[in-house]
Amino acid sequence: MKIGIFVGGAPTDKIRLDEVVAQGVQAEADGFDSYWLPHISARGPDALTALALVGAQTERIALGTGVVPTYPRHPTMLAQQAITTQIAAGGRLTLGIGPSHKPGIENVLGLSYDRPAKHVEEYLAVLRPLIDDGKVDFDGDFYNVHAELALSDGLPVSVIISALAPRMLRLGGAVADGTVTWMAGVRAIDSHVVPRINAAASEAVRPNPRVVVGLPVAVTDDEAAGRAQAATLFERYGTLVNYRRILDVEEVEGPSEVAVVGNEAEVERQIRAFADAGATEFVASVFPVGDDAEASVARTQALLKSLVG
C-alpha cells in the first residue's frame, strides 16, 4: 500500500499557494509516494493550478486532487484544465472529483444539488471521453455536450471519484478508476467500500480500482488528547450527510473515532489494517497534538516516512 500526504484536511486550515508548493517539494524529498490537495474555494488556491506548480518543481511524486467539486465546473473545462496540469506534471496527476456537499453547493454557490449520483454519472460520461479520446458526443439530463479537445499530448489522466455510497461506488469501479475516501474507517473500507467497488469493476471487466483512503493522523503518547484534538478539528465532517452515512457504517459517533491516533506502534498497526482491508493507498492529513505543534507534526511524519516502500 502506498503512503501519501494530504494537506488542508481540517476545516479550519487556510492553504497558501507558496506553502502548498513547498510542502509538495518536501513530500517528495521525504520519499512519500503521493501528495494530495483539496479544492475548497474558501480555504485555498485552485487545486489543479497549485499541483501544476508542484509538478514543475518535482520529478517523482504522484499528485492528486481530493477532490474537485463537479457542480460548479463544466466537465469540458475541467477536462481541459486536468490535461494541461497533467502535461505540466509530466503524467503524475490523478484527478479526483466529486459532487461535494449540499450546504456548500446550494447555500454558498446557489446551485442545485439535484441527484448527485446521476450528476456524477453524466459528468464522467462527458469527462472521460474528452480526457481519453479528445472528443465527446453526449446528451443527458444534466449535460448535452458535443465537443473536442486538442491537448492530449499522449499523457493519460487517471480519474477517481469521492465514492462512499453504493451507487457512487458502482461508478467508481465501472467507469472511474477508483475512489478517494475521507472519514471512512477500516470497517467501512473492508465491509462496504472494497467489496462494492471491486464487484463493479469486475462486472464491467475492468481492472481492480484504486482505493485511496484519507484520514487524519497523529502520533502521540496521549491517545485521549489526540482524539480530543481530532474532535475539535474535524467535528464538522460528522455533520455532513455523506460523511455521516459512512461514519454510521463504521458504527462510530464522530470523526475523532476514525482518526488514526496513538503511539508509533499503534498508528502503524492502524494504517497497515487498511492494506489488509484492500486499500491501495493511504493518504495522511497530519494534525498536531499538544503544546509543541511543530514537534508533534515532525514525529508523525517520521513514522509515516518509515512506512513508505
Beta bridge mates, 180: 212
| 3-class secondary structure, 258 | coil
The answer to whether 4 touches 281, Cβ cutoff 8 Å, is: yes
For the cut 90, the answer to whether the pLDDT of residue 40 exceeds it is no
pLDDT of residue 14: 77
Residue type at 171? Answer: L
Assign 181 a pLDDT band (cuts: 50, 70, 90). Answer: very high
pLDDT of residue 9: 76
In angstroms, the Cα distances linking 69 to 105, 236, 297 are 9, 18, 29
When comparing pLDDT for 220 and 309, which is higher? 220
- The 10s digit of each residue's pLDDT in 227-278 is 999 999 999 999 999 999 999 999 999 999 999 999 999 999 999 999 999 9
- Distance between CA atoms of 288 and 21, rounded to whole angstroms? 21
- Checking if the pLDDT of 156 tops 80, the result is yes
Q: Report the sign of the C-alpha dihedral through residues 243, 97, 300, 19, in that order.
A: negative
Range of lowest pLDDT (6-20, 105-119, 124-138)? 6-20
For the chain, strand residue ranges (E) read 2-6, 34-37, 62-65, 68-69, 93-98, 135-139, 144-148, 158-161, 178-182, 210-219, 260-262, 281-286
Q: Which CATH number fits domain 1-161: 3.40.50.12280, 3.20.20.30, 3.90.1640.10, 3.40.640.10?
A: 3.20.20.30
Helices 116-133 and 75-88: angle between axes, nearest 10 degrees: 50
* pLDDT number for residue 15: 83
